[in-house]
Each structure stands twice: as C-alpha cells, then as structure tokens.
Structure 1
Amino acid sequence: MAFEELFCPQVKQPLPNLLAPAGFGADHVKSKKVAAVKKPSQNELDSLKVKMAWEVATSPAKSIPMNLIMSYMTGNSMQIIPVTMALMLIWNPLNAIVRETNSSFSSLRNDRNSSEILLPKIVFVLCQLMNMAIGLWKLNQMGLIPNKEADWLSWKPVTHIIERVWLS
C-alpha cells in the first residue's frame, strides 16, 4: 500500500444490490431537520452570567464537608500533618478572599448585571470564611489558640500576700 493511499483513502460507496439487514427499515430512520440557532439576547446572556456567578460563589462550599471530615480524622495531636492542614485551611481561604474574589467574577460582570453579581461575591467570601472557621476550630482543638487563663499567666500580675496566719 502506497503512502498516498494511507494518507487519502478512497471512500467506497455501498453496493446498490445489497439488502438491508434484518429488522432494518426505512421507516426507522428519522430525518433530522436542523433549525437555525438564534443568537441569545443580552438579557439571556446576563442571566446566564449570573447563574455562572452563583456556581463560582458556591464552589468553595462544596469542599466544606470534606474539610470537616479530614479535620476530624487527623486527630488533635501535635504532628506535622494536622498542623499543616489546619494552617492551609486558614491560609487558602484568606488568599482566595484577597486575591481571587474580584478576578473570579471579573469575566462575568458588566454594566447591566453588576448589582446582581454583588450577592454571589458576598456568598463566595462567606463560604471561604466557613472554610477558614474549620481551620480555626482545628487549631483550637489542638490547643494552639490561646483562649484559656493559663495561656496568659505570664502577663498576669503576681499576687502579693499581705498577711499570713500561723496556726500553732
């Protein structure tokens, strides 16, 4: 076989005297009529952009159950994996709030729907704050957040005893 035959094979036409397979009939074949696709209006495009904004806004909430399960399963011991996971649960949402909030919604925002995109932005920030709260809860469970009186004893003034009672 020559290279030209491999590169441009000839399409063979079916033989006219072949019978159709058993069970096949021309009435089973539906002819498709392709309708012309109309161009979507600006209102339809804006509503589609708002729907996409809601998808972007709720995407961080989809990782909340996994983060809760992983935080519970890693335990409260002071090891590298639980501490790293807790710090990443704080750092990644904070980074997303500061750097990705406007950039995630910039392609979906225009002059007509800017007021409708504000609520998905707020939901995006709230979902990121919920992920951050999981990290803070994990750090609290490990005892790394100073919230007890014993954590602040070095700043507490020393009590001076004025009188002593000697019992004999």
Structure 2
Amino acid sequence: MASRSESYGELLNPSIVKDAKISGKRQITLPAGFNSDLISLQHNKSNATVRSNNKPDLERLEELKVKKAWEIALGPAKTIPMNLIMSYMTGNSLQIIPIMMTLMLFWNPLKAIFTETNANFKSLETKKNASDILLTRTVFVVCQLACMAVGIWKLYNMGLIPNSESDWLAWKEAVQYKESVLLI
C-alpha cells in the first residue's frame, strides 16, 4: 500500500514535469491509413469557404436581430397548445380555478400587447430592418390575440358568452295577446 501512495505522490509533484525532457521527435506513430496530406487539403478548403462566407459584421448583425425578433414574435404561439390542454383539463364548471385561468388567458395577452410589444422589439429595430421588425410586431400581436381566442373558447364552453335568445330575455318585451270572447 505504501508503494502505491508514493507513486501517486510522484504524480502530484510539479518538479517531475520540470525535469521531463521534451524531444522534438514524434513519439506517437500515425495510425495505419492516415494521410496527413488529405488533412491539410481539407483544412485549406475550409479556410477558403470561411473567407468567402464572411459578410460584413453589420449585415450579419442585422440578420441576427431579425432572427431574434422572429423568435420573440412566435413565442406566444408556442404557449397556445399548453393553454388549450390546460383549458380542457380544468373543466367547464364555474369554480375558482377555471375562472382564474380564463381571466389569465385574457389578462396576460392584453398586458403583453400593451406593455411588452414595444419593449421587446425596440432594441432590435434599426433603420434598415424597420419593415421586418414591424412585421414581427404584427405577428406578436396576432399570436397574443390567438391566446385570447383560447380564453373566448373557454368562456363559450363554460356558458358565459351570451349567444342565444334566452340570454337576452331581460331586454325583450313580453308578448301581449289580444283576448276576445265570442258569445253564441
């Protein structure tokens, strides 16, 4: 056991690294079938394609800003399936959980439309990409409205949208029948 701990101690001693002799000769042989000329050709080819694909940094930055704007714009659309599943799972009864969830389906998109739209896209907008950013803002608002449509669907299923004649009976006038008696 003592010999093992001594050998580990030697590995941790930094003076061994200093004392090691480094020779310029390669000590590891290349594997069979390895062709160093092929590697240098591929390396030169990849350098040539990298040079040809380099665009000015400003153009690449504009492209990245537009790409980021599209990611932000399509973010609300990714929550629609989750909201649909949660709306279905909470049921259609008039209890606190379904009502609060339905209110959140209206409140969060409204808040995002009026407060987050300009804040999210302001840092990404430049003079060159203003039309692209305007399009992404529009898509962002449409996706938020689609989230609100899930809330409308939930209200419809709960029976809270007045869509039949019986929902408006309070404003309907009562029918007056004419009564007449015939004596024979």
Answer yes or no: is 1:70 the counterpart of 2:72.
no
CA RMSD of aligned residues (A): 2.9
Please list every run of at least 4 consecutive aligned residues from structure 1 whose deviation after the TM superposition is greater than 6 angstroms. none
Please identify which structure carries the higher helix content.
2
In structure 1, distance between residues paired with 2:103 and 2:166: 23
Instruction: State the 1:163 CA deviation.
Output: 2.9
Q: Which residue of 2 aligns with 1:158?
A: 174
| Structure with greater Cα Rg | 2
TM-fit CA distance, 1:128: 0.4
Q: How many Å apart are 1:110 and its aligned residue?
A: 1.1
Q: Quick one: structure 1 residues 165 and 83, their matched pair in 2 at CA, closer, same or farther if it must change by over 3 Å?
A: farther
Task: From 53, 63, 71, give the equivalent of 1:55.
Answer: 71
The residue type equivalent to 1:72 in the other structure is Y
Which residue is equivalent to 2:14? 12
CA shift digits 1:74-111 (9 cap, x unpaired):
11011100010011001110111111111110010011
Structure 1, unaligned runs of 5 or more: 1-10, 18-23, 29-34
5 Å matches for 1:1-168?
Answer: 12=14, 14=17, 15-16=19-20, 25=28, 41-163=57-179
Q: Distance in 2 between matches of 1:108 and 1:26?
A: 53
Aligned residues: 146
2: CA distance, partners of 1:95 / 1:60 = 13
> Given the two structures, how large is their TM-score scaled by the length of structure 2?
0.70
Closer, same or farther: CA 142–164 of 1 in aligned 2, 3 Å: farther
**Partners in 2 of 1:71 and 1:151 — Cα distance?**
24
Q: What residue ranges of structure 2 are gaps of 5+ in the alignment?
A: 1-12, 22-26, 32-46, 48-53
